[in-house]
Every structure is written in structure tokens, then in C-alpha cells.
Amino acid sequence: MSDLVHDLVLDAARRWPEHRALVFKGASLSYAALADEMAALARGLVGLGLARGERVAVYLDKRIETVVGLFGAALAGGVFVPVNPLLRPPQVGYILRDCAVRVLITSTQRAADLATELAACPDLRHVIVVGEVALAAAVSG
């Protein structure tokens, strides 16, 4: 067993693939489905050029995509940066700059609210917007 956080989910997916891993607002994801979503996101992030150790910020509210974003970033070799969803745009911008974030995963509304701040983030290369489309599909497709 590995000591990496994403390996906990992958191990659970091997042991109990059909068990529920996440439940939120009537939607649920099995461990196998969570592992698949994580892997798809990880492939997408690597395809975008994410290098090992680079930062991926996740600025979302409580939702399944938040978990997929965090663990998918780790699986890709990135370092996830969870951003408190209650923070205001200037605070988020400070975190993105201070952490030298390369990729931001957020919602349509939050991306719009952050437009001015994102323009001032020199290390930011990609913004992945989560909407009605699944997170992994948004990155890979």
C-alpha cells in the first residue's frame, strides 16, 4: 500500500468497486466510478502539460467534482491546493499567485468573478470550468 492520498481511493476501488464512495444531493459515485473519473482527469491534466509537483487549485463548493478534482490532481502527480469556497476574489488571487498555481478548477460563476484576478496570475496556464458537463469530460474532450 502506498502512502499517497489518491492511492486510498484506488485501493478501495480494487477492493470494493461497487460500494458507494460519495453521495451528494441525490447523486452518488461508486469507488470504481470515482477512480475512473480521477484517472480521466489525471490524463487530461497531464495532456495539458501539468508536470510533477505543479499546483492545481480547486475552487469549488461542496460537490462531487471537488473530490474528483483534488484526487485527480494528486493522481496526475500535481499538488492540489484546496481553496476555501467562502473566500473573495482578491483572497483567491493571492493564493493562486503565492502557490504558483498552474491549473485552476472552478465553476462558471467563480471563473467570471475571478476574471481580473486571473489576469494577474503569471503562472496560471489553464482554467478548467465545471458546469453541467462532467469534470473529466471537460478536460479530455
86-137 pLDDT, tens digit each: 999 999 999 999 999 999 999 999 999 999 999 999 999 999 999 755 454 4
- Where residue 26 falls among pLDDT bands split at 50, 70, 90? confident
Residue 19: CA count within 13 A, CB half-sphere? 9
**Average pLDDT of the residues in 13-31:** 92
Domain ranges of the chain: 5-140
CA angle (38 as vertex; 85, 92 as ends), nearest 5: 20
- Domain 5-140, CATH among 3.30.70.2200, 3.40.50.980, 3.30.429.10, 4.10.520.10: 3.40.50.980
- Where residue 1 falls among pLDDT bands split at 50, 70, 90? low
Whether the per-residue pLDDT at 31 is higher than 50: the answer is: yes
pLDDT, position 141: 46
106 — phi, psi (to 5°)?
A: -155, -175
CA angle (101 as vertex; 5, 12 as ends), nearest 5: 15
- Secondary-structure breakdown of the chain: helix, strand, coil percentages, each rounded to the nearest 5: 50, 20, 30
Block residue for cell numbers 503565492: 98
Higher-confidence residue of 135 and 5: namely 5
Residue 4, helix vs strand vs coil: coil
Average pLDDT along the chain? 92
Q: Which grid coordinates belong to 93?
A: 488571487
Gap between the Cα atoms of 79 and 64, Å rounded: 19
